[in-house]
């Protein structure tokens, strides 16, 4: 039997739903589930690092023991002796050079594609993305011969190939950035008296800066973590961190060295990623102010 | 600071387009004058503005600023400043640095550029907003900043491309008042594009009416309403009364009877369409005296449509139809007979075809 509610004291739909369960707050069960899933993911990502961290400060760790049986810095010492420091430096420079070349190239290609200034844009996009689909080993084997015949020095050959490998990432990232970019900002700047150079430095680049940072990060990773190209085209003369890791990992009893080298290989990307999160954001939002206008979402944000 | 502007048979054909976006548009704007370019969507209004700004090169024709051809002059060297429909405030700069943009790129020291920008923020009644990020502004405030930024560039011609059409009616009225105040204080030459007849009437000294890339009429607001040169002009300006007939000896004969041309006007002989603004049609009770200079026509109320405080009524005069507006309180009902008084000075004859 329905309960009698006096006229004028009717329960509104708002009373029934909003008071009992505010719309925006997840139900307790859902919340727990999310926390559990997030924790599992965090463990999944962090777990591989634990043995690495332990090995890097272990001198001996025999099979059944849960923890290293002998602590020490033998791994670090061996890594330094093996030339880890200059290898780290070479990798860093290689990553930075690849980023410095591939990012502007990718940005220019993406802008031309986004503006429709390219004939057969689908074909061109396809070619630019092709290095992703091609097994790196196949392409590199063929290109090594070409580069050798053309008498291109090994180091330059490595950079050229790595830039080509990084281009799909920078082009794709910048296409997304330019899709959200409004050319009218640049036209406005020009009518206000800004030359092409001023428009580039004061309007265009600041507006696509977050995209550029993301693209440069990906390009850096290509150079930083490359093994195949450096080995085959560099002919073993350019010893980078991945080469060192690989050579030690191939041997037996080098777990401590490999751990130290692997950990040091994580550091630069991690630092860049944190920097990206800090500086790669878009522009100040209205949090700054009070009032109803403050809650508006920033216009033009992707 | 202000310059005169002239367009000389400006034509623009976009790649792959069959019909030109602009077809031989010629007009002139005096220094310190505000011209509104009025027209329906796709009439080429914005193309005119982009050509003047140098953002698009015209296919043919000349653009003269103070008598000098600006063909081939880069947009940044033309001394124009443009305000678009969207405010396009640079999101990486504060409100003040947005307004100081023109001075900054012109190489002024930052401190001076900012001091200058503050004056323009004051002009648009946003003093104290300078330090805010542009995302902390409302739509009306954003457009005020955009106008301040354009004015701070000291443009020889200020170009406004439907700057207020995204704002709600109340804000738009505020912006019209602001624009009039700016005109009084700085006397800039303004070319404003709009599709809103009322906006053009409120803001502009003269109006250029565009349709399908052609300039139909370039005249004062009042003459566009009362002395259209073509049927298309009368229709685009919202005219609702059209009476086909024939002019002979300066007298137009139609279903309304014979109407002589007003003093000082001459109508071309032959077939012609008599057009009258419905606002000019006065509905009077039967047997009321006919004032001087008025044409009296006996009519029957054929239809009445409520429009808030006003009512639109259709009046039948034999085969012909007249339109009028009366206060909603007037007790005119369908079928009622009445007399309409039409001022002879409000009558115009235009060619029959739409051209």
**pLDDT tens digit string along B322-347?**
999 999 998 889 999 999 999 999 99
- Residue A22: how many CB atoms within 10 A of its CB? 9
Which residues in chain B have their CB less than 8 angstroms from residue A194's CB? 76, 101-102, 105
CB contact set of B197 (below 8 Å; sequence gap of 6+): B38, B237, B238
Q: CA of A203 to nearest chain B CA: how many angstroms apart?
A: 7
Q: State the pLDDT at residue A149.
A: 87
Distance CA A154, CA A156 (A): 6
Contact B76 A206 (CB under 8 A): no
Nearest CA in chain B to A300: B91
**Residues of B whose CB is below 8 A from A207:** 90-92
Per-residue pLDDT tens digits for A215-268? 999 999 999 999 988 888 887 788 899 999 998 888 877 788 888 888 899 899
Return the SS3 of A212: helix
Pairing of strands B34-38, B206-211: parallel
What pLDDT, on the 0 to 100 scale, is given for residue B225?
93
pLDDT, tens digit, 9 for 90 and up, residues A12-23: 545 444 445 555
Mean per-residue pLDDT over chain A, rounded: 82
Please check the confidence at residue B98 and state whether its pLDDT lies above 90: yes
Percentage of chain A with pLDDT > 70? 83
Q: Which residues of A touch B74 (CB under 8 A)?
A: 190, 195
Checking if the pLDDT of A288 tops 50, the result is: no
Give yes or no for a contact between B312 and B304, defined as CB atoms under 8 angstroms apart: yes
Cross-chain CB nearest to B105 (options A194, A207, A300): A194
Of B225, B235, B178, which Cα lies nearest the Cα of B355? B235
| Residue among A190, A207, A284 minimizing CB distance to B76 | A190
Pairwise CA distance, residues A155 & A223, whole Å: 12
Question: Cβ atoms within 10 A of the Cβ of B249, count?
Answer: 9
Distances (CA, A) of B47 to B20, B27, B352: 11, 15, 30
Average pLDDT over residues B96-121: 95
Locate the chain B residue with the closest alpha carbon to A290.
Answer: B136
Q: Do B159 and A294 make contact, defined as CB atoms within 8 angstroms?
A: no
Query: Is the model's pLDDT at B202 over the cut of 50?
Result: yes
Chain A nearest CA to B70, separation (Å): 14
Rounded average pLDDT over B269-288: 90
Nearest CB partner across the interface for A207, out of B80, B86, B92: B92
For the purposes of burial, counting CB atoms within 10 Å of the CB of B168, is it exposed (0-12), middle (13-18) or buried (19 or more)?
A: exposed
- Residue written as tokens 């990553």? A95
CA A103 to chain CA centroid, Å, is 13
Please indicate whether, in this complex, the C-beta atoms of A185 and B90 are within 8 angstroms of each other.
Answer: yes
pLDDT for the residue numbered A10:
54
Interface test with B, best of A189, A192, A213, A300 (most B CBs within 10 A): A192
Q: Is residue A183 within 8 angstroms of chain B, CB to CB?
A: no
Summarize the confidence of residues A123-150 as an average pLDDT. 83
Residue of B88, B108, B116 to mutate, testing the A interface (most A Cβ within 10 Å of its Cβ)? B88
Determine, for residues B76 and A296 on separate chains, whether the beta-carbon distance falls below 8 Å.
no
CB-CB: which of A190, A193, A293 is closest to B138? A293
Residues of A in contact with B76 (CB under 8 A): 190-195, 198
**Which of A231-245, B6-20, B106-120, B173-187 bottoms out in mean pLDDT, i.e. has the lowest?**
A231-245
Out of A187, A206, A293, name the one closest to residue B55 (CB): A187
Q: Which chain A residues have a beta carbon less than 8 Å from that of B75?
A: 187, 190-191
Chain A: nearest CA to B173, how far in angstroms? Answer: 20
Contact call for B90 and A191, based on CB within 8 A: no
Is A241 within 8 Å of A87 (Cβ atoms)? yes
> Which of the four pLDDT bands, split at 50, 70 and 90, describes residue A1?
very low
pLDDT tens digits along B135-178: 999 989 999 999 999 999 999 999 999 999 888 999 999 999 99
- Cα distance between residue A236 and residue A15, in whole Å: 73
Mean pLDDT of A264-288: 74
**A299 in reach of chain B (CB within 8 A):** yes
* Cβ atoms of A191 and B82 closer than 8 Å: yes
Which of A91-95, A199-203, B291-295 comes out lowest in average pLDDT? B291-295
Give the closest residue to B327 by CA, choosing from B299, B302, B307, B342: B307
Nearest to residue B122, comparing CAs of B202, B176, B186?
Answer: B186
Question: Shortest Cα distance from B50 to chain A (angstroms)?
Answer: 10
pLDDT of A24 > 90? The answer is no
SS3 A278: helix
**Residues A76, A262 contacting (CB under 8 angstroms):** no
The percent of residues above 90 in pLDDT, for chain A, comes to: 37
* B67 Cβ neighbours under 8 A, 6+ residues apart: B4, B6
Reported pTM:
0.80
**Is the Cβ pair A191, B149 closer than 8 Å?**
no
Average pLDDT over residues A186-194: 95
B98 closest CA partner among B108, B107, B88: B88
Q: What value does the mean pLDDT take over residues A118-127? A: 89
| pLDDT band, very low/low/confident/very high, at A77 (cuts 50, 70, 90) | confident
Q: Could you tell me the domains of chain B? A: 5-226 (3.40.50.300), 242-350 (2.40.50.140)
Confidence of residue A8 (pLDDT cuts 50, 70, 90): low
Question: pLDDT-derived band of residue A277, with 50, 70 and 90 as boundaries?
Answer: confident
Mean pLDDT calculated for residue range B299-306: 93
Distance of CA A32 to the CA centre of its chain: 30
A21 touches chain B (CB under 8 A): no
* 198-237 in chain A: CB under 8 A from chain B: 198, 202-203, 206-207, 209
Chain B residues within 8 A of A189 when measuring between CB atoms: 90, 101, 105
- Would you say residue A285 has pLDDT above 60? no
CB contact, 8 Å: A70 with chain B?
Answer: no
Partners of B104 on chain A (C-beta within 8 Å) are: 202
Instruction: Write down the pLDDT at residue A259.
Output: 87
């Amino acid at each position: 039997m329905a309960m009698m509610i006096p006229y004028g004291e009717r329960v509104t739909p708002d009373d029934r739903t909003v008071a009992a369960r505010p719309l925006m707050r997840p139900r307790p069960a859902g919340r727990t589930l999310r926390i559990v899933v997030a924790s599992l993911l965090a463990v999944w990502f962090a777990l591989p690092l634990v043995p690495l961290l332990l090995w890097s400060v272990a001198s001996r760790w025999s099979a059944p023991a849960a923890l290293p049986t002998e602590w020490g810095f033998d791994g670090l010492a061996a890594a330094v002796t093996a030339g880890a420091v200059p290898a780290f430096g070479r990798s860093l420079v290689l990553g930075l050079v690849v980023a410095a070349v591939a990012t502007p190239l990718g940005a220019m290609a993406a802008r031309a594609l986004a503006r429709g200034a390219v004939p057969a844009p689908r074909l061109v996009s396809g070619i630019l993305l092709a290095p992703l689909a091609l097994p790196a080993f196949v392409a590199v084997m063929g290109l090594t011969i070409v580069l050798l015949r053309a008498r291109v020095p090994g180091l330059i050959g490595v950079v050229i190939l790595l830039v080509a490998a990084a281009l799909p990432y920078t082009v794709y990232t910048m296409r997304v950035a330019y899709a959200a970019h409004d050319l009218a900002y640049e036209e406005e700047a020009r009518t206000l008296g800004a030359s092409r150079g001023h428009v580039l430095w004061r309007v265009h680049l600041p507006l696509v800066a977050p995209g550029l940072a993301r693209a440069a990060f990906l390009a850096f990773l290509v150079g930083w973590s490359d093994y195949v190209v450096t080995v085959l085209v560099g002919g073993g003369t350019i010893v980078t961190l991945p080469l060192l890791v690989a050579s030690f990992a191939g041997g037996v009893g080098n777990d401590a060295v490999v751990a130290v080298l692997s950990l040091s290989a994580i550091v630069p990307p991690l630092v860049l990623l944190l920097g990206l999160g800090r500086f790669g954001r878009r522009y100040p939002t209205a949090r700054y102010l009070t009032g109803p206008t403050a809650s508006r979402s920033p216009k033009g944000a992707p | 600071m202000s310059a005169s502007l002239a367009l000389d048979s400006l034509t623009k054909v976009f790649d792959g387009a069959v019909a030109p976006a602009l077809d031989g548009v010629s007009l002139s704007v005096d220094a310190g004058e505000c011209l509104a370019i009025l027209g329906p969507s796709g009439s080429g209004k914005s193309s005119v503005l982009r050509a003047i700004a140098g953002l698009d090169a015209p296919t043919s024709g000349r653009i003269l600023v103070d008598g000098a051809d600006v063909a081939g002059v880069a947009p940044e060297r033309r001394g124009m400043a443009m305000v678009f429909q969207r405010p396009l405030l640079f999101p990486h700069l504060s409100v003040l640095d947005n307004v100081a943009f023109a001075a900054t790129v012109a190489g002024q020291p930052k401190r001076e550029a900012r001091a200058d920008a503050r004056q323009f923020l004051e002009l648009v009644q946003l003093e104290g907003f300078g330090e805010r990020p542009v995302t902390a502004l409302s739509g009306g405030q954003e457009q005020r900043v955009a106008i301040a930024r354009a004015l701070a560039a000291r443009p020889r011609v200020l170009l406004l491309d439907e700057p207020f059409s995204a704002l709600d009616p109340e804000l738009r009225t505020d912006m019209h008042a602001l624009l009039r105040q700016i005109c009084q204080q700085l006397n800039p030459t303004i070319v404003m594009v709009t599709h809103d007849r009322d906006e053009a009437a409120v803001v502009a000294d003269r109006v250029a009416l565009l349709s399908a890339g052609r300039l139909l009429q370039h005249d004062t607001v009042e003459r566009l309403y009362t002395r259209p040169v073509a049927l298309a002009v009368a229709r685009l300006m919202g005219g609702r009364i059209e009476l086909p007939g024939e002019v002979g000896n300066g007298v137009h004969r139609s279903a309304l009877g014979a109407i002589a041309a007003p003093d000082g006007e001459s109508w071309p002989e032959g077939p012609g369409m008599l057009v009258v603004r419905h606002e000019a049609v006065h509905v009077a009770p039967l047997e009321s005296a006919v004032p001087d200079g008025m044409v009296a026509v006996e009519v029957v109320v054929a239809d009445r449509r409520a429009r808030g405080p006003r009512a639109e009524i259709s009046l039948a005069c034999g085969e012909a139809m007249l339109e009028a507006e009366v206060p909603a309180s007037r007790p005119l009902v369908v079928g009622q007979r009445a007399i309409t008084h039409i001022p002879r000075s409000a009558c115009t004859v235009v060619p029959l075809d739409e051209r």
